[in-house]
Amino acid sequence: MAVDKHLFLIGMQGCGKSSLGKRTAKETGVPFADTDAMVAQSAGGTVNEFFEKYGEETFRRAETNALAALTYARPMIISTGGGTVLNPVNRHIMRSWGTIVLIDRPLEDILSDIKLDRRPTLRDGGLAEVERVYHERLPIYRDLADITLRNDQGYHMAVYILTRLVRERL
């Protein structure tokens, strides 16, 4: 089925949106964008540096701008940030412009390998904060998703499932 829309990857930090999206794009030849990378590049640094320099409010505005800019692009795989779903404008953009895929990775798996130093919103609270945010956001992710990809059988299986999905949808 050819659908002239994007595939948006949503889910908790560390669930694999960026790594799975990028790898699947390579496998399928479908273009790829990561809203975090777009925001970071716009300021010539990393997401961490962006937070330190401009703060979360500015980051959230830039995140929405990045998402809005992508509505003009040809169909692609778009990895969002874990907090993108919190803004109703972002939810509206994603609903209007594509299929929303929740990367549903078990909390224990996320806790086992998440790199907190690269995640400014979680760094100070440690793994307890990861757990709190996970439970707070899971209902939002579930409610928004058109499709859920259960990511509990390893990285390569998740790439395989996502690759199939992309070939069906884009």
Ligand X SMILES: O=C(O)C1=C[C@@H](OP(=O)(O)O)[C@@H](O)[C@H](O)C1
| Cα–Cα distance, 83 to 97 (Å, whole number) | 18
Is residue 13 close enough to count as binding ligand X by CB under 6 A?
yes
Q: Which of 6, 7, 8, 15 binds ligand ADP (CB under 6 A)?
A: 15
Q: Which of 16, 21, 75, 83 binds ligand X (CB under 6 A)?
A: 83
Residues 22-41 that bind ligand X (CB under 6 A): 36
Residue 16 or 120 with smaller CB distance to ligand ADP: 16
Q: Which of ligand ADP, ligand X, Mg ion, none does residue 47 bind (CB under 5 to 8 Å by kind)?
A: ligand X
Indicate the helix (H) or strand (E) that contains 78. strand 77-79
Q: Is 72 exposed, middle or buried (0-12, 13-18, 19+ CB in 10 A)?
A: exposed
Is residue 17 close enough to count as binding ligand ADP by CB under 6 A?
yes
Strand order in the sheet with 98-104: 32-34, 77-79, 6-10, 98-104, 147-150
140 Cβ partners below 8 Å, 6+ apart? 85, 86
Is residue 120 close enough to count as binding ligand ADP by CB under 6 A?
no
By the criterion CB under 6 A, which residues form the site for ligand ADP?
Answer: 11, 13-20, 79, 82, 105, 113, 151, 154-155, 158
